């Protein structure tokens, strides 16, 4: 595995450990649905993360039937001059559309 894929695999392992801990705490027999939000600017490759989780769940009976759902969470930027909010953008704005400010 490349270093990049290894990073996502480690994150998927951490998710699996936490899911198993919570499932056992609640005396669940299985985990069916997993919803994860990943920041758009996090640098996490969703496909690699998903692939890692698929490999891990095959070795964990409680996770074997689980479905992973990944949502991308885009950041919100606030202009430092006028306070205007630019919501859910994956690109840091060059300037504020309201006051032309450049502080975010």
d(CA 66, CA 1): 24
Domain 3-73 falls under CATH 1.10.274.10:
no
- With a cut of 70, say whether residue 4 has pLDDT above it: no
15-38 per-position pLDDT tens digit: 999 999 999 999 999 999 999 999
- With a cut of 70, say whether residue 12 has pLDDT above it: yes
40-91 per-position pLDDT tens digit: 989 999 999 999 999 999 999 999 999 999 999 999 999 999 999 998 777 7
C-alpha dist (Å) from residue 53 to 80, 101, 104: 39, 42, 35
Cβ atoms of 74 and 65 within 8 Å: the answer is no
Mean pLDDT score of the chain, rounded to an integer?
Answer: 93
Q: For residue 3, what pLDDT band results from cuts at 50, 70 and 90? A: low
d(CA 2, CA 88): 31
């Amino acid at each position: 595995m490349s270093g990049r894929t290894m990073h996502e695999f480690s994150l998927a392992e951490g998710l699996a450990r936490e899911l198993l801990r919570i499932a056992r705490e609640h005396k669940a027999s299985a985990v069916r649905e997993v919803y994860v939000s990943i920041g758009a600017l996090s640098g996490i490759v969703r496909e690699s993360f998903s692939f890692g989780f698929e490999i891990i769940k095959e070795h964990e009976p409680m996770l074997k039937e689980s479905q992973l759902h990944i949502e991308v969470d885009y950041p919100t930027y606030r202009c430092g001059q006028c306070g205007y909010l630019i919501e859910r953008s994956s690109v840091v704005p060059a300037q504020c559309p309201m006051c032309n400010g450049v502080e975010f």
